Amino acid sequence: MEYRSLGSSGLMVSALSFGTWVTFGDQVQEDTARACMIAAREAGVNFFDTAEVYAEGRAEEVMGGIIEKEGWKRSDLVIATKLFWGGKGPNDRGLSRKHIMEGMDASLDRMHLDYADLVYCHRPDPRTPIEETVWAMSDLVRNGLAFYWGTSEWSAQQIMEAWAIARREHLVPPTMEQPQYNMFTRDRVEHEYARLYEEFGLGTTIWSPLAGGLLTGKYNRGIPEGTRVSLAGYQWLRPGYEGDEATARVAKVEKLGAVAKDLGCTMAQLGVAWCLKNPRVSTVILGASKVEQLIENLGALELVPRLDAAVMERIEGILGNKPVMERDWR
């Protein structure tokens, strides 16, 4: 396993990590969840991602239960959770001081942990002043309930505002962002956040490296049974997998399949390795509903050195979506 710094912080995270959305406490049974976490640990993964909203808290319970039962040393693990959607009541969601404090306590209870290594604001909250959120997140860190705090899907401007408040008030600033990043979704990581890496040392823990499975090639002939899109309660995902935009993406996946074939790897491995190639990515959070998927995707690490300039250019030619930097077109 390769370990990368989380931005300019001193924390080392495995370049490949493992997440629990859709799967833990919902799509997969506990034995599969356990097998996946063990396979990840055996491969050197130290970073595990969850959120209070995943399976309405059950994902945290399952993950915490496995950590407890396996008796893994706490200092070997980097555990991340996210706060925003904690329940149905008016104060169970959002980024008020009340929800952040109560949500964190409930999360730690479910995981049977004394602290999380990382805690994220799962989305921006337009109803709460950023200043209130920055104070509360900073207090979580100062109270020892988390070591670092960050954001997920915040705009560059919102992150800069949080930084400015933290500097002015001598509070703990955000360390990392959790954005979507994959061959089809590039703008934030490659363009919008560009200044934040240099100026604030922002780390990124990226999600949906395979665009929810689309980049594995298994949706090339429609939606197969047993996939996340076919699950009860996840129909809202369908537009991302069918319709005009998805058809255009599938056409690209078919062409990328030829690149994978020439490299002697699977399409999933190519998709993950392509994310790893970006040095601004601190860790790629993998998702898997079967241990075989996870083991296959962990193999992406070995592929990275073979993605040389010629291969990257060939991929770029297929994708045709490289974000344009202002200084490129001036």
Token pair for 329: 């077109």
Tell me whether residue 164 or residue 190 sits nearer to ligand NDP (CB atom): 190
Query: Which residue type, as a one-letter code, is found at position 48?
Result: F
Q: Judged by CB under 6 A, does residue 14 bind ligand NDP? A: no
**Residues with Cβ within 8 Å of residue 278, at least 6 apart in sequence:** 181, 189, 190
Interface segment toward ligand NDP; rule CB under 6 A; list 65-73, 93-101, 189-197, 210-218 = 210-218
Closer residue to ligand NDP in complex, CB, 9/289: 289
Q: Which residues pair with 182 in a beta bridge?
A: 185
User: Which one of 106-114, 203-211, 234-242, 254-262 is the stretch in contact with ligand NDP (CB under 6 A)?
Assistant: 203-211
Shortest gap between Cβ of 196 and ligand NDP (angstroms)?
17
Q: In terms of CB distance, is 169 or 292 closer to ligand NDP?
A: 292
Instruction: Specify whether the CB–CB gap between 174 and 165 falls below 8 A.
Output: no
184 token code pair: 């089809």
66 lies in the site for ligand NDP, by CB under 6 A: no
133 binds ligand NDP (CB under 6 A): no
- In the complex, minimum distance from the CB of residue 327 to ligand NDP, in angstroms, rounded to a whole number: 29
Q: Which is nearer to ligand NDP, 96 or 289 (CB)?
A: 289
State the nearest-atom distance from the C-beta of 151 to ligand NDP, in Å: 9
By CB under 6 A, residue 287 contacts ligand NDP:
yes
DSSP state string for 173-201 = PP-EE--B-BTTB-HIIIIITHHHHHHH-
Instruction: Please indicate whether residue 181 is annotated as part of the active site.
Output: no
Task: From residue 121, give the alpha-carbon distance in Å to each of 49, 152, 205, 327.
Answer: 13, 6, 13, 31
Stretch that binds ligand NDP, among 16-24, 159-167, 235-243, 316-324 (CB under 6 A): 16-24
Smaller CB separation from ligand NDP, 128 or 152: 152
Q: Does 213 bind ligand NDP (CB under 6 A)?
A: yes
Q: Which two tokens stand for residue 50?
A: 């969850």
Nearer to ligand NDP, 124 or 287 (CB): 287
Residue 151 as a binder of ligand NDP (CB under 6 A): the answer is no
Pairing of strands 176-177, 203-206: parallel
The residue type found at 124 is P
Neighbours of 168 (CB within 10 A): 10
> According to the binding rule CB under 6 A, does residue 218 interact with ligand NDP?
yes
Counting contacts by CB under 6 A, is residue 57 touching ligand NDP?
Answer: no
Neighbouring CB atoms inside 10 A of 196's CB total 20
User: Among the options 54, 181, 193, 241, which is catalytic?
Assistant: 54
Of the ranges 159-167, 201-209, 256-264, 306-314, which one interacts with ligand NDP (CB under 6 A)? 201-209
> Residue 43 or residue 164: which is nearer to ligand NDP going by CB?
43
Measured CA to CA, the distance from residue 309 to residue 311 in angstroms comes to 6
Instruction: Give the x/- contact pattern for ligand NDP in 219-238, rule: CB under 6 A.
Output: --------xx----------
Q: Say what the alpha-carbon torsion angle 4, 8, 11, 15 is, to the nearest 10 degrees.
A: -20
What DSSP assignment string belongs to 36-101?
A: HHHHHHHTT--EEE--TTGGGGHHHHHHHHHHHHHT--GGG-EEEEEESB--SSTTSBSS-HHHHH
Q: Is 203 in the site for ligand NDP (CB under 6 A)?
A: no
Residues that bind ligand NDP (CB under 6 A): 19-21, 23, 49, 152-153, 178, 207-213, 216, 218, 227-228, 268, 285-289, 293, 296-297
- Residues classed as catalytic: 54
